[in-house]
Amino acid sequence: MKKLFAFVFLNSFIVLSTFAQLPNGSVAPNFTITDIDGVEHELYDILDQGKPVLLDLFAVWCGPCWSFAEIGVFDDFDELFGNSVFVVAVEADASTPESDLFGGSSSIGDWTDVIHYTLANDDFIGDSSFYNLSYYPTIYLICPDRSVSEIGQGPSGGYWNVQNLADEVFNYTCDPIGNINVGIQSYNSELNYCGSGKIEPVITISNTGVENLTSFTIETLVAGEVISSYDWEGVLPSQGFEQLVLDEIPGDSEQATFNIIASGDVSPSDDSLSVTFFPSIESHAFLYIDVNTDYYPGETSWKIVNSNGQEVLVGDYQEGNDNSSGGGGVDAGMTYNYSASLESGCYTFMAIDESGDGQSSSTSGVSQGSIKVTDADGLELLNISGNWGGYQSVTFEVTYGLELEDLVQESVTVYPNPTSENANVAITLSQSEDVTLRLINALGQTVFLSSSKMSAGQNTFELPLEALEGGFYVLNTIIGDRELTKKLNIIK
């Protein structure tokens, strides 16, 4: 989806009352909140670690709050500096339930689609005895000395980006942390191990001090033992960050800890990061991939790669020509069903969206998109829809279902599509089955129905379309207890 924002929203707010907010420089009232994952956070405990806190107080029905969240600057900032700063969004309207964070009668939408850092609901934080809210959104920066300052949605005459927000946090509002403060911010590589392969750690480090950083060492520990040491030399400026690839670690490691060591480093709170690894999902050898495209199909693609990085199956879609934005076209709002038979081994399914907002676009006649991957036993490997970001993946290991008789070889293909006259339906079956074909028009009316016994292997059936009007139709193919759906575009 192409994101369009009205700039009037960026520095606007919804007024609740005429009471004054907390004055800048006030001592921040302590609070304890529980986020949507059930994790408890206490403000003073975080500040005592030397970490500033970015506190975004919003309401689920607040349009300017939604517009600010959609920009994603706090998400980007949290990704780069989240181990040095605690970034949290709190729904502070006591009249709305926590469930509305996921979309509800009072909510603009699903807030977990636009906020990917710590998210919570609290009915008391906006009270006069706490942060005394007068309008939404209210965005505070709370420094380690417990002083609070309202920083709003951006600096005067603009809105935040990662760099000027970093300057605000580390240099302008809070006292500079020190000459040098290097920290490990995030782990950016796989979290699943498969078979006996190696894991290549990728981490992001930052310098939140005021002087250039010229050297440091990163130690990698597995099971409490240092297994490698990485020495870095160069120039990392103040508020700079860099991504590093470290030495490989054993693929069956349950946990790894990365420690950074630098001369003159003033704050130890962000010097360590521990990562827990999980075994890959064991899967049947046969997969189903069901894709519903949104209004911008050309932005979305997917692929399955093996343990050597080779692509074994790929899916991509044609962009449209709607106002030169790539919207619409023959692949917009379509349903595609694929199947794959894989050999024994490790694989990764990757979904990619070039605009970074998943399949969140919906317009007249086209709903938000989705991608679902299941194996022949019904095990769900991946199920994403709406705004799933720019990348989603799942690592799995094919360990069974490799015998020929276990491979479920069924698929349905409609061609040509679009078509102006007739269309063919190719149906591949692993065994003889009763098959029903039902063609439905945009009004929900069945315009063609056929049932027959089809044999194992590929069967071809011709759909008679001469008498039908142009437009989009849905073809439902029922094979036993499984229904496969395709969209058919008839052009006349």
The pLDDT of residue 19 is 52
* Edge-to-edge order in the sheet of strand 182-187: 182-187, 202-207, 240-245
Strand 311-316 and strand 335-341: pairing?
A: unpaired
Residue 249 is inside which H or E element, if any?
strand 249-250
pLDDT at 195: 67
pLDDT of residue 57: 96
Collect the ranges in the chain with pLDDT lower than 70: 1-20, 177-178, 195-197, 323-324, 403-410
Topology of domain 409-492, CATH: Immunoglobulin-like (2.60.40)
Using a CB cutoff of 8 Å and minimum separation of 24, what contacts does 305-312 make? 305/347, 305/348, 305/350, 306/345, 306/346, 306/347, 307/194, 307/195, 307/197, 307/345, 307/346, 307/347, 312/340, 312/342, 312/347
Which letter does DSSP use for residue 117 in this model?
A: S
Residue 122: predicted pLDDT = 96
465: nearest Cα among 444, 445, 439, 431: 439
Beta strand 249-250 with 198-199 is antiparallel
Start and end residues for every CATH 2.60.40.1930 domain found in the chain? 409-492
> Closest Cα partner for 161 from 66, 75, 59?
75
- From the list 481, 479, 444, the residue with the least C-alpha distance to 459 is 479
What pLDDT score was predicted for residue 391?
87
Show Cβ contacts of residue 411 under 8 Å, excluding neighbours closer than 6 positions.
337, 338, 339, 426, 427, 428, 484
Tokens 């050597």 -> residue? 308
Instruction: Tell me the CATH architecture of domain 182-277.
Output: Sandwich (2.60)
What residue ranges of the chain are covered by domains with CATH 3.40.30.10? 7-172
- Looking up tokens 């700039």 gives 7
Strands 281-284 and 391-400: parallel
Concatenate the DSSP letters of all residues of 185-218 into one string: EEE-S--EE-TT-EE--EEEEEE-SSS-EEEEEE
Per-residue model confidence (pLDDT) at position 77: 94
Q: Residue 140's closest CA among 92, 206, 209?
A: 92
Question: For domain 7-172, which architecture applies?
Answer: 3-Layer(aba) Sandwich (3.40)
CA distance 396 to 392: 14
Report how far apart, in Å, the C-alpha atoms of 210 and of each of 166, 171, 206, 213, 250 are.
12, 8, 12, 9, 37
Q: Which of 179, 254, 183 is nearest to 216 (CA)?
A: 183
- For the chain, the 3-state helix, strand and coil shares in percent, each to the nearest 5, are 10, 45, 45
Tokens 């699943």 map to which residue?
192
What pLDDT score does 11 carry? 47
Q: State residue 382's pLDDT score.
A: 95
CATH 2.60.40.10 in the chain: give the residue spans. Answer: 182-277
Pairing relationship of beta strands 202-207 and 182-187 according to DSSP bridges: antiparallel
> Do 15 and 134 form a contact (C-beta atoms < 8 A)?
yes
The domain defined by 280-407 folds into Immunoglobulin-like (2.60.40)
Cα–Cα distance measured from residue 279 to residue 174, given in angstroms and rounded to the nearest whole number: 42
